[in-house]
Amino acid sequence: MKKKKVKISRFEKFLYVLTIFLIMVSPLMIVFEKSTLSEVNYEVEKIKKEISKQQKENESLEMKKNELASLENIQRVIQDEGLVYNNDNIKNIE
């Protein structure tokens, strides 16, 4: 009995090589994607912290602005500058 030799075409060889290549490269691609995702998440968290810090600073400045614009503060500044508050000089326009 003679053994038949099976011939593999070039296309089949190409498919085998491509399949082996993809099997070897796919774990590397997964690691690369996870690394990239981790880096992006780190940047997102960093930006969130910066946003939170800026919001706190904005709130602080808003409170300071309201404090400086208060009637009591304005009257104190007027007195410090030697000016007099005269209600008769105020005119209402309707």
Taking only the tens place, the pLDDT of each residue in 24-57 is 999 999 999 999 999 999 999 999 999 999 999 9
- Does 5 reside within a domain? no
73 domain residue, yes or no: yes
Number of domains forming the structure of the chain: 1
Residue 2 inside a domain? The answer is: no
**The two structure tokens encoding residue 6:** 């099976």
Q: Is residue 91 part of a domain?
A: no
Mean pLDDT for 18-23 is 96
| Cα–Cα separations (whole angstroms), residue 5 to 1, 12, 17, 43, 78 | 13, 16, 21, 59, 108
Give the Cα separation of 59 and 53 in Å (integer).
Answer: 10
Asked if the structure places residue 37 within a domain, the reply is yes
Please give the single-letter amino acid code of residue 29. Answer: M
* In a domain? residue 52: yes
Q: Are 87 and 77 in contact (CB under 8 A)?
A: no
Question: What are the structure tokens assigned to 35, written together?
Answer: 């690394």
Domain-embedded: residue 50: yes
Place of tokens 């690691």: 31
- pLDDT grade, residue 14 (50/70/90)? very high
3 three-state secondary structure:
coil
pTM: 0.56
Domain hosting residue 40, numbered range = 10-84
